[in-house]
Chains A and B, each alone.
Chain A
Amino acid sequence: MKPKFLIGGAVIILALGYMIWAGVTQSVVYFVTPSELQAAPVAGKAYRLGGLVARGTVNWNPATLDLTFSVSDGKSTVPVRHRGAPPDLFGEGRGAVVEGQWTAEGYFKATHIMAKHSEEYQAPHDTKDTQTRRLIDTLDRRER
């Protein structure tokens, strides 16, 4: 091998390494629970917030497309605001993963809602939780 090919190869590997490193550090999104988010909220940072949609907190206004609700993990709750109709699996007492940002005004601004079945809503099928999984992920994909 001639040196110029080795140098070329090294340059490519370094460039690639840098791109991956930069890409991951910039675009990785952390999953947090309401407690974790409330413990150390950083405004403007992207999160995926997971928990149960608290009962009695869902407010959907079709005219303005404003959807507000709270996500709870039993210890803390986080108020969430979203623009757009609730997804098919969304409902009070059900699980949801919400992607978005914490805002300085003290609420979570959602860009995507990935609703999921929570354990308490699981249907009594003999096939364990396969169906539930499918549905979760279906919605996970649909909401992208």
Chain B
Amino acid sequence: MIPEIGTGLLLVALILALYGAVVAALGARRGRLALVESAQHAALGVSVLLTAAMLLLIYAFLTFDFSVRYVATNTNLGTPFYYRITALWGALEGSIVLWAWMVGLYTLIVILRHRTSARELYPWVLTVMLSVVAFFLLVMTVAAPVFARMATIPADGRGLNPLLEDSGMITHPVALYLGFTGFTVPFAFAVAALVTGRVGDFWITTTRRWTILAWYFLSLGLLIGGWWSYHVLGWGGYWAWDPVENAAFMPWLTATALLHSVMIQERRRMLRLWNIALVVLTFSLTLFGTFLTRSGVIASVHAFSQGSIGVFFLSFLALVVLVSLALIAWRWDTLGAQGELDSVVSRESAFLLNNVLLVAATFTVFFGTVFPLLSEAVRDVKVSVGAPFFNQVNVPLFLSLIFLMGVGPLIAWRRASVENLRRNFLGPVIVGIVTAAVLWVLGIGSVLVLLSLGLTVFVAATIAVDLVRATRARRRMGERTLPALGGLLRRHNRRYGGFVVHLAILVVAVGVTGSQTWSVHTETTLQRGEQAELGGYRIRFDGLRESQESNHGKVTGSFTMLNGRGAGTVLEPAKKFYPQEQSPIAYVDYRLGLIDDVYLVLGDFASDGTSATVKFQVNRMVSWIWLGGVVLTLGTLLAVLPEPRRKAA
């Protein structure tokens, strides 16, 4: 029964979403509130139906209803409880359901928050959001039917992809999708602004928090993805410039640009056209990313299957871009700037340059990602563009961006005087240079590393300078230090939230620089009782054992750390043998530290258990990247706090 009920629910939801989208637009054009209200009800209905469909699917997973093809292909009787729930988004069809459900949820929040505050734009926002939901529902009904029935009900399912049996699977897709779908809201507002001709600053200020939240979830999704890659895949890295990573990274770059450029529009009435273009670009890139990862045009862990889904996404992407361009052309005259750039040395210029660099980085990532596809399609030559390309082109861009991160928030608007520059930057520049010099004396020869760490310290120093100065000013008014600092953060939460996020990026930058520079690895075959040494760490191989888990067999190696921090810790990397897979899957074991991670991957082993080949890595400062995620969360929370009411002076 479940397949039929589920299909029915989704079909009704599709009809309701289409109805709501049309009715909201009609209501807006004719000024009929009743129609808009009807669209609201439709949106509520869509959300309820999608929730019901999702619960139904979870129920099917929990009860092992193998009449549903999706359940049969993504679980088996041995799949542990939690992964039977997360298997919901373990493959293509389910991930589309989750996606649509989230857009539905966002639509409800938009209704609650903006029904009265954004009266003119609101009906069109509803139209756009319901259209997006309708698109996903269409994909679900035609291209990727999640409730498709098995012709014959199997006794057992095929099982989840073993690599997805990991806690990262619970959070990574959810965070990433919350980010991807979150950009629907600013996009819907931008379209509404164009349609109504109200292209002023209202839609920008209204969607500021939405953009920040979507950006935050996307950042979190990327970081958790890196963590999953690091501790599951067993290659010791966290970012491979893999097309799917790039697919999520591109909208992150343009959204980052947007977060900065809206400030210029709010403050100086410039960049109207640019901001609309950035929103459209960001939303389009989320669709493009989905197309790239889900259509099978590239080979990847995330490319679940081939089929008509690629055509759907490409068509929808084309529709979105064409409609947006047409609207922009229609409103071209009203999109001109009211302010002008006064000087190259000003905050506007710093922000503008930040935007140019971020979009440039987006373009290089885009180029590197699609170049192999183009090369094969056009010249019939198979090539691959690997990490060296992306690193070579992007590292200078990112270093420049870090530099601007220090300059932008402190430099004066309009035109910075020499005095302004000296006052804000002389100290931090000296601190940065001294840091680089000290590191050089300590024996770090790489110019890139010196630049990266010197710039990082420079930016941290600018933040410190600003905080110290502002706190002092408050102390002069009679406040004590800590309350002064607290009041400052609360009162200017946007500014200081931004600073904390900048700190988070710096922490991640240190982690990336450190891990790329100082990590060491080796591979060796050890006899039982034999030791290996790397980067100051000694380990001893103590033997192998076999075991049987609920849905797989396992051969575990036992390695004892003999010295340094964590001496006595036993690391147990393993190979898992899943009956549904023809080859074993490596299970990594590690001991994380603030500076050093000791990281082991079991390679080949002798069947009598007397010897094993092990990949032995000491990865340095990788933890800083995850730490950066924590700081990022704090900064985002600070930035989205409601702004305090100004007390009358």
A residues in contact (CB < 8 Å) with B: 1-2, 4-5, 8-9, 12, 16, 19-20, 22-24, 26-31, 48, 60, 62-63, 65, 83-86, 88-89, 91, 117, 121, 123, 125, 127-128, 130-131, 133-138, 140-144
Contacts and interface: CB of A to CB of B under 8 A. Distances in A.
Given A29-B384, A48-B384, 16 more contacts: A12-B360, A16-B360, A20-B364, A23-B368, A23-B388, A27-B386, A31-B382, A65-B523, A65-B613, A88-B585, A91-B583, A134-B161, A134-B301, A135-B583, A141-B242, A141-B301
Contacts of B424: none
A75 B286 CA distance: 44
A9 B349 CA distance: 11
Contacts of B613: 62, 65, 85
A102 to B, nearest CB: 16
Contact of A23 (B384, B389, B615): B389
Contacts of A85: 523, 603-604, 613, 615
Contact of B525 (A9, A62, A88): A62
Interface string B378-405: 0001111111110011001000000000
30 contacts: A2-B341, A4-B344, A5-B344, A8-B344, A9-B356, A16-B360, A16-B364, A19-B364, A19-B396, A23-B368, A28-B383, A28-B384, A31-B384, A48-B384, A60-B604, A62-B611, A62-B613, A84-B523, A84-B615, A86-B604, A88-B583, A89-B583, A127-B158, A130-B305, A131-B158, A133-B305, A137-B299, A137-B300, A140-B300, A141-B300
B240 A141 contact: yes
Interface of B: 73, 158, 161, 163, 229, 233-235, 237, 240, 242, 296, 299-301, 303-306, 341, 344, 356, 360, 363-364, 367-368, 371, 381-389, 392-393, 396, 523-525, 575, 580-586, 603-604, 606, 611, 613, 615
Nearest to A50: B382
B604 A62 contact: yes
A134 B163 CA distance: 10
Contacts of B299: 133, 136-137, 140
Given A8-B344, A31-B384, A141 B389 contact: no
B585 A31 contact: no
Contacts, number: 135
A12 B344 CA distance: 14
Contacts of A30: 381-383
A20 B367 contact: yes
B593 to A, nearest CB: 23
Q: Which of A30, A31, A142 has its CB near the most chain B CB atoms (within 10 A)?
A: A142
A55 to B, nearest CB: 17
Contacts of A5: 341, 344
A31 B303 contact: no
Contacts of A31: 382-384
Contact of A26 (B360, B388, B523): B388
Contacts of B389: 23-24, 26-28
Contacts of A141: 229, 233, 235, 240, 242, 300-301
Given A16-B364, A130-B304, A133-B299, A65 B525 contact: yes
Nearest to A25: B389
A143 B235 contact: yes
Contacts of B584: 88
A93 to B, nearest CB: 12
A125 B299 CA distance: 19
A1 B336 CA distance: 12
Contacts of B305: 127-128, 130, 133
B573 to A, nearest CB: 12
Contacts of B360: 12, 16
Nearest to B576: A88
B451 to A, nearest CB: 16
B525 A63 contact: yes
Nearest to B371: A24
A24 B240 contact: no
Nearest to A84: B523
B163 to A, nearest CB: 6
A137 B296 CA distance: 11
Contacts of A142: 233-235, 586
B388 A27 contact: yes
Contacts of A83: 523
Contacts of B240: 141, 144
Contacts of B383: 28-31
Given A27-B389, A63-B525, A65-B524, A138 B363 contact: no
B607 to A, nearest CB: 12
Contacts of B367: 20, 24
B586 A88 contact: yes
Contacts of B363: 16
Q: Which of B360, B523, B586 has its CB near the most chain A CB atoms (within 10 A)?
A: B360
Contact of A137 (B301, B306, B381, B523): B301
A128 to B, nearest CB: 7
Nearest to A60: B604
Contacts of B603: 84-85
Contacts of A136: 299
Nearest to A5: B341
A127 B344 CA distance: 59
A2 to B, nearest CB: 7
Contacts of B387: 144
A19 B392 contact: yes
A31 to B, nearest CB: 4
Nearest to B158: A125
Nearest to B356: A12
Contacts of A9: 356
B581 A135 contact: yes
Contacts of A62: 525, 604, 606, 611, 613
A16 B615 CA distance: 38
A136 B344 CA distance: 51
A133 B300 CA distance: 8
Contacts of A65: 523-525, 613
